[in-house]
A and B are shown apart, each in its own frame.
Chain A
Amino acid sequence: MKRGMTSWMFALIACAAGALLFFAARSAGNDYVFFAGYTILQYIVLATAWNILGGYTGYVNFGSAAFFAVGAYTTVFFHKIFPLPIPLLVIAAAVASGLVGLGMGYLTLRLRGAFFAIATLALAVVLQTLIVNWSFVGGSRGAYVIRPATVYPFDSYIQYLFLIMLVLVIVALTTARAIERSRLGYGFATIRDDELAAEASGVPTLKLKLIATALSGAFMGMAGAPFPYYIGFLHPSGAFGLEYTVNAIAMPMIGGTATWIGPLVGAVLLGTLQQVAIVTISSAVNLLLVGLLLVGFVILAPNGLVGVVRNLLRKRPGAQP
């Protein structure tokens, strides 16, 4: 709907940028760059996924960690019965968590605002309880997923994981951007603004809400799928960690929820800050940082960084309104 480059063009440019990033990281000659970068990329996918539901339709999901965990545990499940290559696991995880998203959407059709948020939180608790009690995938003991030392043609396995996550980032951003500019994007925005008026304008709000919950859930699951190979040992309190839920909300809020750029900016900024904090201060300080930043942004810049930049451009004399 909006003018500008097509989604294919965007994907192509994103691929080029991705390739550049990958080889730049390789040239650093240190796998630590890939370990830290993987986490940041994972948060870009998670934040973008959250934003499809939370930013575009306005339904705040407090259960991001659960979707991430469903993705991660799908990998563990297949690892136990029939190990698959990671790209296939990503697809399996997308299906599993997409279905969970669809189910969540269906069960909460009539819930809005805070009630929807509480329901998603409850969903996370229920799923965590199920996983803790499912000994096949490790139960409360957790599960080991030993990653191979390397995979052809990469120097190390982490480079392979990094590349997979990079591809997911490109897919997620391209999808989010395409939605924003499509008929679907208009529909999502009407749900965020006023559901009653949306229905009166012919928008099938329930159907669109289900599309959003399923799509958002699927991307969160995809972000979680390679995680067991990254971490090596997956346990419920790690997979359902508070940091995923908090970051998935905080990153789009800090970047700006109205466009695909917001979650990207928020995730890169906050993700990098957290990685730096882990190395220089302590690994525990990172949620504190997120919390403080989130409070600051909600009060001072409710439209996030993208909103701040947009306001500055608007105020510039002679600028297009």
Chain B
Amino acid sequence: MTTNAGASILEVEGLGKRFGGFVALDGIDLAVAPGERLGLIGPNGSGKSTLVNCLCGTLVNDRGSVRFDGTDLRGMMAHERTRLGMARSFQLPRPFFSMTIADNIRVPLLYAMGTRRESHRAEAQIAERCHEMLGLVGLHDKARQFPRDLTQVDMRKLELARAMAAEPKLLIADEAMAGLSGSEVTDIVDLLITLNERGVTVILIEHIMSAVMRFSQRLVVLVSGRKIADGAPDAVIRDPEVERAYLGQ
């Protein structure tokens, strides 16, 4: 199958995943255009995280296919997908606790970026890029600290900086703002929009509706493993089916 390169960076077709008798994802179709800011919402247990895990290779989907940047991802391990240019942040921050903040960011520079360019970057280039990422998320003065010393919001920023370090084409931010205060949420949304303006396609999975509405150009709603809405955010949240899923009948 030839893909119309440039039309979508991510193409998901009929994606299905079950855990025993429980159907977590039931035939998800989704296309994401390069440079798009996509919001993904849905009630707890609707399959958002399962979808992220299937896209990133942490879980293996039972049915359907995922194409990223023209490549079929079937059978690819998570690190290979990262090297292709797909990055994710975790719902609960998962920093490398034994390393400094700067070293946390060096890992993807050493492993995801070097191999993609087929030559390992010079130490100076790595240091420069590391410096740049820390500046971008505002963790400059904490470069030599360890993750355990960070506040919750800084931890989220580190998570994003690490995901972004290797210059991905697509960033999947899985609940990057859960548990943050109002102004902190604004900080993170601003950061994500900045990243997007630099040309990165972003999928945001989030419960905080104000953030989702401010961020998203398009909104997709998952309920019980199915996609029930996909379109302009304002229209989607007025969709009766979406209202029913969130508020009950």
Contacts and interface: CB of A to CB of B under 8 A. Distances in A.
A193 B58 contact: no
Nearest to A1: B123
B110 A183 contact: yes
Nearest to A207: B79
10 contacts: A186-B103, A189-B96, A193-B96, A197-B94, A199-B58, A199-B78, A201-B107, A202-B115, A203-B107, A203-B111
Contacts of A198: 79, 96, 107
Contacts of B37: none
B163 interface: yes
A199 B96 contact: no
B108 interface: yes
Contacts of A79: none
Nearest to A183: B110
Contacts of B87: 200
Contacts of A203: 79, 107, 111
A200 B163 contact: yes
Contacts of B107: 186-187, 190, 198, 201-203
Nearest to B112: A202
Interface of B: 56-58, 77-80, 82-83, 87-88, 90, 94-99, 103, 106-108, 110-115, 120, 123, 144, 162-163, 166
B96 A197 contact: yes
Contacts of A194: 94-97
Most chain A CB inside 10 Å of its own CB: which residue of B80, B82, B111? B111
Interface in A46-77: none
Contacts of B163: 200
A201 B77 contact: no
A196 B111 contact: no
A258 B106 CA distance: 19
Nearest to B84: A202
A199 B79 contact: yes
- Give chain A's interface secondary structure class: helix
Nearest to A205: B79
Interface in A182-228: 183, 186-187, 189-190, 192-194, 196-206
Interface in A137-187: 183, 186-187
B92 to A, nearest CB: 10
A196 B110 contact: no
A200 B56 contact: yes
A203 B96 CA distance: 13
Given A186-B103, A186-B106, A258-B98, A196 B90 contact: yes
A199 B123 contact: no
Nearest to A206: B77
Contacts of B108: 201-202
A184 to B, nearest CB: 10
A192 B79 contact: no
A196 B162 CA distance: 13
A321 B96 contact: no
Given A190-B107, A321-B144, A201 B99 contact: no
A145 B242 CA distance: 80
A202 B111 contact: yes
A184 B108 CA distance: 13
